[in-house]
């Protein structure tokens, strides 16, 4: 669901940028909203990674 919201916001940002320009306040506002969604996704992934057990495998190469 979050991935869909991110994609929709990204498309909206490109549409706004095409209409008003990349440095317009409308584009910047939309970009900031996209950043919030991306940060939320990143935080969700960090939580998932921290709760998963990690396994470490080390292999020694035979000489």
- Measured CA to CA, the distance from residue 6 to residue 62 in angstroms comes to 47
Counting every residue, how long is the chain?
63
48-63 pLDDT, tens digit per residue, is: 777 666 666 666 666 5
pTM for the model stands at 0.74
17-46 pLDDT, tens digit per residue, is: 999 999 999 999 999 999 999 999 999 988
- Measured CA to CA, the distance from residue 38 to residue 51 in angstroms comes to 20
């Amino acid at each position: 669901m979050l991935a869909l919201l991110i994609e929709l916001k990204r498309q909206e940002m490109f549409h706004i940028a095409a209409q008003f320009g990349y440095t317009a306040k409308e584009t910047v506002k939309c970009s900031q909203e996209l950043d919030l969604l991306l940060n939320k996704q990143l935080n969700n992934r960090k939580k998932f990674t921290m709760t998963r057990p990690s396994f470490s495998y080390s292999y020694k190469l035979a000489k």
